[in-house]
Structure 1
């Protein structure tokens, strides 16, 4: 199986990231959301390959088939892993595509490494720029709710993941596109993750304020978000990202949940390819 080694070491062993590399053409790196894996991109990869692009998807440290170290789940460490992937595969003219938590790696990459190797960026259902409710971010998630997530992760991670999946897809409203099998599949991906990694990375997406970093994203950027997202409210995320990233195309899906890559597959794929070819 394909792995790359990152510069991060723990107890003398380098962290290994599992990745898949399909197609030829301009490379697109697909960064998955929390707490899942690269397999969430299976509905996008065939369409992107058919459109003439090279698709590279990988498992974040602590998730899927990648190494599960105890430390370094802050966004600069995660962006460093992304940079190691780009350097190891000798990639240029890259499109960075981050879903949900993965939007943090995209923005932090520009902060820490610049845009020399990057031509475009895509943020889908992204947490960018700030999840938590604050005096100057009134539409964010209240602290008590974030604390409840952390507690549930610690006490009953499998149970938490079951309920998370339902809200992730707004399952009761999307029974025609989200089967029980899809809910089970999503839960199974979450169970591949280290519980410790889910907690530590949750601290990162819940506590990092990317607002000062939005100006660092200096390439054309596509922002896609569902107005019915119950996981990452659109007002605290995409609405603000669209104001802070100078050169962007902002697409709002009226009735879409967080996991719109399943419920709105064709619409999402069409917009992705239009943006890539623009």
Structure 2
């Protein structure tokens, strides 16, 4: 299996499929590269080079105790890009992956990146602050951390309905099969308990507004207006005005897991954007 070793010695697993313009996929906080089941193979078949990888702490990558802040995660991404010699990249940042993408750009520059897609992204800032009064209270993160610490399997199971179906969704009546929902939920458990809590701490507490303001690339923003994980008004609605010329595409009624529930539509958006 392909691995690279980043600067602190952590080994990261990655997939590199297809030929053509490179697309690098950055996933949700808790899932690994298997979440791209419906994107990477299909876009590779349509003429793109698709690179996915398991964030440190998740899937087949190493599980160190530290390194779950955006700076370190962005440096991991830089290590992958350098390792593969990628240029003219389309970065696809999904949920927390959007934070990694914009921190990479602010930390390493856009010299190797041609365009940015933010899908269900948690940018620019989730937490309530004096200048972000409609943000989420820190107690929300504390409840999440407590739930994962007490019973991570139950925490993930209870999130499955809202993740794919939106507020109040019945886990037995989702836009995807119960088998697929269960399998994707299980990928979220293929991680270290430390990493699971710490990535949530990062995505919840780190302010990315300046990073987002610095984006100087063509940017596509795709978001469902039924998203609970990255509330639309707090995330996409605030991200779009910070990036001049960005294009916001709203999926009416879509929840956080639109990579699965709206896979065909998302694939066509990404193919057109990446220039396949």
Classify the TM-score, shorter chain.
over 0.9
- 1:79 maps to what in 2? 74
| Mapping of residues 205-224 of structure 1, within 5 Å | 205-224=203-222
Q: What do residues 205-235 of structure 1 show as CA deviations (whole Å, max 9, x unaligned)?
A: 0101101111221110110000000111011
1:95 Cα deviation (Å)?
A: 1.1
Contact 2:164 2:175 (8 Å CA) reproduced: no
Structure 1 portions without partners, runs of 5+: 9-13
Q: What's the CA shift for 1:204?
A: 0.5
Is 1:94 the equivalent of 2:89? Answer: yes
Pick from 45, 65, 68 the counterpart of residue 50 of structure 1.
45
CA distance in 2: counterparts of 1:59 and 1:176, whole angstroms: 26
1:111 has 2:140 as partner: no
Name the SS for the 2:68 alignment partner: coil
Counterpart selection for 1:151 from 138, 142, 146: 146
> Are the equivalent residues in 1 in contact too, given 2:21–2:89 (CA < 8 A)?
yes
Q: CA RMSD in A?
A: 1.5
Deviation at 1:173, TM superposition (A): 8.2
- Partner Cα separation in structure 2 for residue 56 and residue 151 of structure 1: 34
**Kept in 2: contact 1:174–1:263 (CA 8 A):** no
* Separation in 2, partners of 1:173, 1:277: 37
1:226–1:174 CA distance, 2 compared to 1 (3 A) = farther
Check whether the contact 2:32–2:54 (CA below 8 A) recurs between aligned residues: yes
- The question of 1:263 aligning with 2:261 is answered yes
Report if aligned partners of 1:140, 1:233 keep a CA contact under 8 Å in 2.
no
Is 1:28 aligned to 2:26, yes or no? no
In the superposition, the TM-score normalised over structure 1's length comes to: 0.94
How far did 1:200 drift? Answer: 1.1
Q: Does 1:250 align with 2:248?
A: yes
Check the 8 A contact 2:14/2:54 in 1, yes or no.
Answer: yes
**Alpha-carbon distance in structure 2 between the residues aligned to 1:179 and 1:142:** 33
Gaps of 5+ in 2: none
2:127 corresponds to which residue?
132
The 10-residue stretch of structure 1 (127-136 or 99-108) with the greater mean CA deviation from structure 2: 127-136
What's the secondary structure of 2:38's corresponding residue?
coil
Deviation at 1:270, TM superposition (A): 1.3
- Give the corresponding residue for 2:137: 142
TM-score, normalised on structure 2? 0.95
Do the aligned residues in 1 keep the contact of 2:116 with 2:218 (CA within 8 Å)? yes
